[in-house]
A and B are shown apart, each in its own frame.
Chain A
């Protein structure tokens, strides 16, 4: 059974950094692409970043390009999202998801990032 657990969220001041983690279990992590998707309070879903199974290909939404970095450690079955130069508009619940035929097939429970002074 696929299990994804995000961590690392919290309250952070504008301009500061944060690193989110997503611990994966129940599947062969190294053979799947992975996604980060966020949801601002009361708003819809927004794809943030995607990484290929071996980490060689990474893709970002325009809103976070140059500020966020997606990475993975297949030896630890863990996905990461480094968030730099945070802005109030980055406030959201951040979900990691396992790819399934070019969709987000399984999701974690999410971790809340609040950017506020």
Chain B
């Protein structure tokens, strides 16, 4: 099974900060990597698919990059609505696909 490891597990940031979250795969997954945002008590929401494609309706301050085993999600200027937990998910090979353990973005 492909294991996904996110870092950090949590971070504290302020509105306007640039935030970067890393996701590493246990083997190469090309660009089959998705990013989700989950606010407390809500369903997850797709932000980025295939490593760098922005889902329709997602603000352009969110961006994704990477290929192979290392990927990043960047929030260029953190907004109040962005305090949430973020998950990566690999979609390489046979589903169901595995998620990372999550990164909590908290208000400093």
Contacts and interface: CB of A to CB of B under 8 A. Distances in A.
A91 to B, nearest CB: 17
Nearest to B49: A103
Contacts of A45: 36, 38, 44, 87, 89, 99, 102
Contact of B36 (A61, A62, A104): A104
Contact of B96 (A48, A105, A106, A108): A48
Interface stretch (A12-20, A24-32, A82-90, A94-102): A94-102
Nearest to B44: A107
Interface string B1-44: 10000000000000000000000000000001010101000011
Contacts of A105: 46, 49, 55
Contacts of B45: 107
A35 B96 contact: yes
A97 B43 CA distance: 10
Contact of A44 (B87, B91, B95, B96): B87
A44 B46 contact: no
B96 A102 contact: no
B98 A47 contact: yes
A116 interface: no
Interface string B83-108: 00001010100111111111000000
Nearest to A105: B46
A97 to B, nearest CB: 8
A49 B96 contact: yes
Given A45-B87, A101-B53, A35 B95 contact: yes
A105 B36 CA distance: 9
Interface of A: 35, 37, 44-50, 59-62, 95, 100-110
Interface of B: 1, 32, 34, 36, 38, 43-46, 49-50, 53, 55, 87, 89, 91, 94-102
